Amino acid sequence: MRRLAALALVPLIAAAEAPTPAKPQTPGEILAAAPQSDWRPIAADDLLVVEFKDGKKVVIQLAPEFAPVHVANIKALAKAGYWQGAALYRVHDNYVAQWGNNETEKPLPAGVVAQPPAEYFRALAGLDVTPLGSPDPYEPLVGYAAGWAVAVDTSDSTINLAHCYGSVGVGRNLSPDTGMGGELYAVIGQGPRALDRVIANVGRVVGGIENLSSLPRGTEALGFYKERSMDVPIASVRLASAMPEGERPKFEYLDEKSGSFAAWLKVKKNRRDDFYIHPAGGVDLCNATVPVRAAG
């Protein structure tokens, strides 16, 4: 929001004149200072690497803890080369980018469950939720569990992954179809939380989201591309674990139980660094999703 790129040169004259109080940190500064021990590696078997024919890549972290059958399907589809010849064919502004074998009925590889259960939420039991600590329009409790931004329905002790920017879900037809995982979308706009218990949310983009969000928008209803020539062809979809060690992307996320995470969340709610005048006093879950970074 800087008016001039030269902003960084604004001198902090006061610093030379008196002992200064601790300068308020930015969220980015807290992450940069977080000890390596606060970061958790993401398993190579949970990273799905989508490479388009133009060489651009998108890396997705899958969430087997939340949608085990759908995630197992996606892994089996990747291993079987199901997305050979597939393409991205839908970009709906402020909503989703979607890819797969649209309008092509391909036989399902062995081991793929054709009609998975509705893994739109799961039992809370076994998960330890760190509360966000700000009100949420959708559920009585939101926060973090197992490295993910989550929403909890406290009335029946169920929990779901929250649909935020970068979330990856499974396209489907009308209920009771849940989609088998062959058509996937990523959120490229305001978190569409109304989808939270409506669709299987199976993960999040951890690298290359800009290769989806900057694509031309489709002009047909729901953002479908009008002409097949607009589709973005996919070269390969692989698990990182199936790639040669030297080519694997590596990512890590900040442990929500760490002190760094708590400090980061506090500052996300109340920015006091130079640019900010009015500390907000709260934050939306989708403005404070779990920090993820390239590792190594």
Interaction residues for a second copy, span 127-186 (CB under 8 A):
132, 134-138, 164-166, 169, 171-175, 177, 179, 182-183, 185
- Rule CB under 8 A: is residue 226 a binding residue for a second copy? no
Per DSSP, 78 falls in state H
Determine contact, residues 123/74, Cβ cutoff 8 Å.
no
User: What would the x/- binding string for a second copy be over residues 72 to 101, using CB under 8 A?
Assistant: -------------------x-xx-x-x-x-
Determine contact, residues 88/211, Cβ cutoff 8 Å.
no
Residues 96 and 68: their CA atoms lie apart, in Å, by 23
Q: Which helix (H) or strand (E) holds 251?
A: strand 251-254
- Picking from 181, 179, 141, 182, the residue whose alpha carbon sits closest to that of residue 162 is 141
Residue from 70, 75, 204, 271 touching a second copy (CB under 8 A): that is: 271
- Rule CB under 8 A: is residue 20 a binding residue for a second copy? no
Determine contact, residues 186/279, Cβ cutoff 8 Å.
no
Q: How far is the CB of 213 from a second copy (least distance, A)?
A: 6
Residue from 109, 224, 231, 241 touching a second copy (CB under 8 A): that is: 224
Residue from 143, 192, 249, 291 touching a second copy (CB under 8 A): that is: 192
- Rule CB under 8 A: is residue 22 a binding residue for a second copy? no
Query: Please, which residue, 35 or 278, has the CB nearer to a second copy?
Result: 278
Contacts of 206 by beta carbon, 8 Å cutoff, 6+ apart? 42, 47, 59, 60, 61, 166, 251, 292
Residues 272 and 26: their CA atoms lie apart, in Å, by 8
Residue from 81, 111, 126, 189 touching a second copy (CB under 8 A): that is: 189
Q: How far is the CB of 205 from a second copy (least distance, A)?
A: 11
Query: Please, which residue, 40 or 271, has the CB nearer to a second copy?
Result: 271
# binding residues, a second copy (CB under 8 A):
73
Query: Please, which residue, 147 or 208, has the CB nearer to a second copy?
Result: 208
- Rule CB under 8 A: is residue 277 a binding residue for a second copy? yes
Q: Which helix (H) or strand (E) holds 264?
A: helix 259-269
Q: How far is the CB of 287 from a second copy (least distance, A)?
A: 6
Give, as ranges, the residues between 30 and 49 that touch a second copy (CB under 8 A): none
Query: Please, which residue, 147 or 169, has the CB nearer to a second copy?
Result: 169
Contacts of 116 by beta carbon, 8 Å cutoff, 6+ apart? 69, 70, 73, 178, 179, 180, 181, 200
Q: Retrieve residue 56's tokens.
A: 């651009």
Determine contact, residues 90/171, Cβ cutoff 8 Å.
no
- Rule CB under 8 A: is residue 4 a binding residue for a second copy? yes
Q: Retrieve residue 117's tokens.
A: 């259960």
Query: Please, which residue, 41 or 275, has the CB nearer to a second copy?
Result: 275
Q: How far is the CB of 286 from a second copy (least distance, A)?
A: 5
